[in-house]
Amino acid sequence: MPIPAWPAPARGLALLLLCIALAACGGGEAVRPARPVAMPRVWPVVPPEDPAKANAVLMRAISLVGTPYRYGGNTPEGGFDCSGLVNYVYRDMLDLRLPRTSRDLADWQGPRIAPTRLAAADLVFFGSRGNVSHVGIYVGEGRFVHAPTTGGTVRLDHLDGPYWRDHYSGAKRILQ
């Protein structure tokens, strides 16, 4: 015996009831929306005003990747904290004396730079609630060199990384 065909309105109602029944099979747990994933920005290439000085700073900073972190440290032999690294690199390569703390560096002379105008050797700052607590040296393509934390080493990170993106507080141009 053949199965009778249902009229179109009945088929639509049956399909709707089936969808509702399947949706109810979720177990009653609330579905948590996924945290939106931020797409990495495109980082424009902004040439530094003095490419030779910027290159010297970058090469020295990158050569220190892997040096142990040490609070208050300011030499490759003893380790670095974030501002100790910045001070060492600028003093070693350009004989430039900078303020010692990340907060003082953020307040020091030099124009603030929009993220889209970052050039090699600019300083990038991080913190929360308006307080600067960390500094690094921008190397290009959204990356920076820094001495992050106790137990770590000097490393390269990306400004679009979840922690750094959420704590970015600005940048300064040191090389004029």
How far, in Å, are 5, 26, 170 from residue 173 at the CA level? 76, 54, 11
Catalytic residue among 19, 25, 146, 158: 146
**Active-site residue 19, yes or no?**
no
Catalytic residue among 19, 25, 82, 158: 82
How far is the C-alpha of 36 from the C-alpha of 141, rounded, in Å? 23
Two structure tokens written together for 36: 């939106």
**Active-site residue 146, yes or no?**
yes
**Active-site residue 158, yes or no?**
no
Catalytic residue among 19, 134, 158, 167: 134
* Cβ burial, residue 42 (10 Å; 0-12/13-18/19+): exposed
C-alpha dihedral sign at 50, 51, 52, 54: positive
Any idea which residues carry the catalytic annotation?
82, 134, 146
